[in-house]
Structures are given as C-alpha cells and as structure tokens.
Structure 1
C-alpha cells in the first residue's frame, strides 16, 4: 500500500522527529512510504528506508512565523509558491498513493494552503481516491481568532477522511486546545503518544547520575543552556556531572561560547542520537517541554524540570508541562523570568522529591497510527 506523507517544519526539529517515528512504523507495517520533506534537512533523521523527496526548503525567520525564508534566506514570493506547488502535485501524480497523510494541516501550517488545498482537492478527485488523513499532536497553540479556528474544522470536514490525534483523551482531549473538535468527532482517532523507541545505547558511564540538559533542535534553547550553566555553580547537585546538549539549530557560536566557560564537571556537546539512553541513566533531566522530549522523559521515567518554550504567545509546551506537573511527573519553571537561581532551586527540589510515578501514557502511537490507516484504507476499498 502506497502512502505519501507531507511533512513541513519551520522552527526546531520536533515535527520532523515525530514524523520520522511515524514513518518508521509505517515502513515496518509494510507501507511503501514517500515523504515530501518541505523543511531544511535535519541531519541524522532516520526515515526507516522510506523514499524522502525534498521540496524547495523553507524556514521561519523567527519565533513569530510571520516571515518565511527560502534556501537563500529570501522571503518566499508568489513565484516560489507556484514552483513548489507544482513539484508537490507532480510528486503526487508519480506516487499515486493509496493514502495521503498531511502533518499538522489544517490545524496549523495554514501558510501552506497554497500547495496543500490544491493537493487535497486533486486527491479527492482521483480514481481510485486515496484515504486522506491529518497527523496532529495532542495540544495545539491557542488561537486568538475564533473564526480561524472554526475554519480549521471546516477544512477538516471538507477535505479529510481521518484526523489522527497523537495523544490520549484520558490525558487531554483534543477539544481542550481545539474547541470545535466535537464538530469533527467522527473523523478523530486517538493513536496514543508517539514515543521513539531507544535505538542506541550510550557508552558506559555516559549519563550515569548526571544532570542532562537538552534543548531539542536548539533554535530557541540558548538561554536555557546559559541558565543551566549558571545553575550548576549554585545547585546542591554540583557534585554531579552536568551534560549540556546543543541541538543542530543552536545559533552559530553559542556552543563554542558555552564550552569556553564550562568548568570541570560540565560537558558541552552536540545533541546525541543516544539521548533516550542518557535519560534512562540520569539523576535529572532539564529541558523544554516539546512533544518529543516529553515522550523521551516519560519513557525513561526520570526526574525532570521543564522550562516550556513560551515566546510569541506559544501555549502548547506550557499546557503539556503543567498537566504533567499536576500528576507528579516534573517541576515547571516558566521561561519568562528564567534565572540560574530559579533553575537551581527547581533542580534541587526535583532531586529531593520522591521519584515520579510510573508513566501510564501509551507510547506506541506510531504503531497505532499505522494500524488505523491500514484498517481505514482497507475499509474504504471494500466499501467502494
């Protein structure tokens, strides 16, 4: 069964990481997957042997997502949009998928309606018509315009057959961050959470009883790394080795700046593919609260301090972190007003607290998504 998966990230690497986990599960389930990769390549991403077709890449100029830049750092224009839409439609015509899977849209990525709406409309007219599904995380960023939110539900109703929500309604229902969800309840299928299974074991000693500080891709993590470096000097946990992991999108020169002032007992290094293994051994994790990192922390069962990314009205990470804090899984330090002193206090409190409860989150959401898509496509064929 052929599946075309449209994936577009603009800032950070969380969307790509989650999409790659889902893609690997799809390949393992026997799907022939083609990934239309719309963002800049993320080194080290394991797509599980799927065909990855790069579209002309684009990224956000900043955390406001108001200006999108092409490969030459120029704002994208009408000509660029026409060329990219044509490439995507040509890819769809070549693959002729049985399933068309779109990451995030229509619940985000509205700036890409120029290519996605024509793609979806052509797919709906195809004979035989593919199953059309959206892949969306558990929590959306709050929107200030109710009309736009309602429009997302309208688009889902008009153009999609399924909405795969990568969460658990017992933890947080989709309507908690998307109020019109009841209007599309018949389309929604909860997969459980998409947690990557550890694939690499860290070398002996690495991570053992350490404070592991991570910032995902690193595009918006420099201040957390600086605060952690300062916190180590005043924390009661300064006897431990602190390992600061710099993501691939950390601004140029920041890693060198941190390494230059790091004292003995502090390691500054690039983000590692064996990160989940480090968490399984650590004394404490310090991180932001992006979907993928939280899933890694929950799978590891380690103590954690989350500093949720909250710039430009971002609410998704704060909501997720506060939910887990209420269940005893972590402590939360707000990004606004972050200081080394506040972080050090949270670190010491988290280490002194009882171990977190065993996570009850279902983390096999990628495998569940593959099963749901296969069953829905098979049912569509038998009904045709």
Structure 2
C-alpha cells in the first residue's frame, strides 16, 4: 500500500524548475457533464479550490450542467458556466432535464456553448472529467478547436469507472481511445493503483496506459478547511448521519434510515439531496415529524462539517462521499448503487477488503439492518479501525497543482525546442 503520510514524488517529467513564473496568470477550465447527481461537479469544485490555493494567480472556469450546486460562495478566481441540463434515465439514456428540446438539439446547444466559452477563455489547461468526448460527444467541437491551440488537455478519471466489460464496450462504442490519442496530453486518475489499477483492469492499449498518472484520492479535509471560514450549525454528538448524494436514487436508503432505531441518546440527521423527488422528501419529513430524534434536511451548505462530527454515517458509495469518509475517518456503512453502473459496488468492496468501511448490499437494505450496524458501532473503539491515510494515497489535491506546474514548464520547454508534448 502507499504510505500517504509522506507525499510521494510524481514521475519525473521535467528535470528543471517545474514552477511557472510567479507572475504567470494561468487559465484553467474544468468540464463535468453532470447527467446524474452532483458528484462530478463537486469533484471539480474541490480541485478548483485546491488550484486557487496553490496557484493564487490562476483563473478557473467550471463548465457544468448542474445548477443545483452553483449557489455557494465561490472563492475569488473561480466561476461557473452552467449549461442547460442533461438528465440520465434509470436505463442510462440521456434526455433534456428541463427544456423541451430533442436530444440532438440540446447536444448542439451545449456543444456550441462550450466551444464558444473555451474560444473566449483561452485556457492554458483544460481538464475533462470522466467522459473523454463529453456527454453525447458534445466536446468534439471544443477539443478540435483546442487541438489547434497551445491548450494542454487532460482527462481526469475517478478511481473506478464501471465493471471492466462494460467500460470496454462503452469506450469502444464511443470511440474514446482514438479521441484520447488525438486530443489528450495526459490522463490523471484520482485514485490509488493499489486499490484499483485502471490500465490493467480495463486493458488499455500501451500508448494510452503510458499517459496515465495516479494523483491519489482527493482529500476532503481540504473541503472542510475551506468551509471553516463560514461554519454552519452542527448538532452536538452523538448523532448518526445519512447521505444519499444528490438524492435522485437514494429514496430506499433514506427511508430505511428514517425508520431505523438509533442507539440510546443518539440523534439522526438525514440529508435528502436537492434532486430527490418532492413527494419522497415530503414522506421523509412526515416520518421525522413522528419522532423526536430525527432531522431531515434537503441540503447542507457543507456536509463535511456534519460528517466530521458524526459518530457514524450511512451513505451511498459515490466517489466524493467515499473520499470524505476516508479523509475524516467516520465509521461508515456504505449501501452502494448497483445500477446503472457497478462502480459504487466495486469501490465499496475494495475498501471493505482493506477494513476501511462496512458494506450492505442494496438487496439486504432494511431499517433493522441499519439499526444493527449502528449498535455495533457503539461498541467499537477507534483503535479497532484502520486509518485510511496509512493505507491509501489521499494526496491528489497536493499533486494536481504540481502536475499543472510541470505541464506548463514542459509546454514552455516544448515551445522553445519545437518538440510536441508527450504524456504528462
């Protein structure tokens, strides 16, 4: 396992001073397609905040299709371009979330908007989250534009994409491998290969695997540090916290938690997420009204503030929530989504194998199962649980600015020597 107590040096990409001049005002754009839940956008926002802290002269543009996560106070130097939204159905198909547009009309609207924004913004670095060509290939126009410019394009991948056979089939259908070869200078994986090795598991071609750099998981302690500037009220422990991401597919978990019995003296806090259908939120509020120890919130300005103080957490297994759990060390029961992707299930199983989380299969989800787990937590000593920082690499937010510095230094070297940029 990677000992993350000491930041491991990245692969040597440039043998000189890898820092750009202090006066260099970098422009960095990050894209997330945001078709289901808030995870992609929250990940990019966390990266943007880390970039601004490490590279204070930078300007960061977040391109997103999720207005629900745009109402927070953004630091100086960061702003959003919010696109008309996609929505992914339970079957994994795309459709317009709000506008009465056909799939093709919405794709063209978003594609042309993204291209126009990047043409005007002129980013030094463009980081694409998870989907090389964007949702419905909406990035093709922009990537072709940037290919003729000095912009360096990076594909950012979470630790686990999906089941191997599914990824290979979908990437083949989407022609992702040719797109990566044509447009992308590097692939940064927000994970640790000792937990999940992407290039081996997904059988990437050798030239694609050569582009990969593992930056480490994203330490959500940084999110908590940012939130400390404007703290929100947090109840007094002990309390159990339930988190279901955006909420659109978290109804079963939320209901089971709301009906579970908490240990004596404990409170329960349930965050439904802004995307949970209104009728289900109302039903959960009705359940809470019948008890004295349950609070139901639609959202919270910074859930990590609650997670840091919680005595236990029951949650789905999305990337961001899992990173927060690992960083803060809260005892966790993960109830992962298994449809339309297996990503959460695979992640939960890998981390359970390391002893870092407990896992409950969705088919076994019930209020009594949650009650039993919560009672088990009350008898555990902290020393009985492994510390995630000692098992896996959580240094992603430190490495990403380093990699961008190296990327810019290498680009400057290439411009002066007239050699093209290779993998970074």
TM-score (norm 2): 0.81
CA displacement at 1:47 relative to structure 2: 4.4
CA displacement at 1:147 relative to structure 2: 4.8
RMSD (Å) for aligned C-alpha atoms: 2.3
Distance in 2, Cα, partners of 1:105 & 1:366: 20
Distance in 1, Cα, partners of 2:74 & 2:219: 15
Distance in 2, Cα, partners of 1:79 & 1:202: 41
CA displacement at 1:255 relative to structure 2: 2.5
SS of aligned partner of 2:410? helix
Deviations 1:156-193 (A, max 9, x none): 22210011111111222223653316442221111111
Contact between 2:256 and 2:366, CA under 8 Å: does it hold in 1?
A: yes
Within-5 A mapping of 1:1-384: 1-28=26-53, 29=55, 30-45=57-72, 47-72=74-99, 74-106=100-132, 111-113=135-137, 115-126=138-149, 129-142=150-163, 143-144=165-166, 146-150=168-172, 151-175=175-199, 177-180=201-204, 182-196=206-220, 197=222, 198=224, 199-200=227-228, 201-203=231-233, 206-232=235-261, 237-262=263-288, 263-312=291-340, 314-355=341-382, 356-360=385-389, 361-384=392-415
Contact between 1:40 and 1:59, CA under 8 Å: does it hold in 2?
A: no
Q: Structure 1 pair 366/96, CA: closer, same or farther in 2 (3 Å)?
A: same
> Across the two proteins, how many residue pairs are aligned to each other?
373
Q: Structure 1 pair 79/225, CA: closer, same or farther in 2 (3 Å)?
A: closer
Distance in 2, Cα, partners of 1:160 & 1:189: 13
Distance in 1, Cα, partners of 2:375 & 2:381: 12
Q: Structure 1 pair 273/40, CA: closer, same or farther in 2 (3 Å)?
A: closer
Contact between 2:124 and 2:151, CA under 8 Å: does it hold in 1?
A: yes
CA displacement at 1:222 relative to structure 2: 1.3
List structure 1 segments (4+ residues) > 4 angstroms apart after TM superposition. Answer: none
TM-score (norm 1): 0.89
Deviations 1:59-105 (A, max 9, x none): 21523331321432x35333333333222221122112211221112
SS of aligned partner of 2:29? strand
Q: Which of structures 1 and 2 has the larger relative contact order (alpha carbons within 8 angstroms, sep 6+)?
A: 2
Deviations 1:272-313 (A, max 9, x none): 23422322222211101111111111122121111001123x
SS of aligned partner of 1:8? coil
Q: Structure 1 pair 101/82, CA: closer, same or farther in 2 (3 Å)?
A: same
Distance in 1, Cα, partners of 2:216 & 2:110: 33
What is the aligned partner in structure 1 of residue 7 from structure 2?
Answer: none
Contact between 2:199 and 2:209, CA under 8 Å: does it hold in 1?
A: no
CA displacement at 1:376 relative to structure 2: 1.0
Q: Structure 1 pair 346/376, CA: closer, same or farther in 2 (3 Å)?
A: same
Distance in 2, Cα, partners of 1:98 & 1:278: 37
Q: Which runs of 5+ in 1 are unaligned?
A: none
Q: Which runs of 5+ in 2 are unaligned?
A: 1-25, 416-424
SS of aligned partner of 1:253? helix
Distance in 2, Cα, partners of 1:257 & 1:349: 28
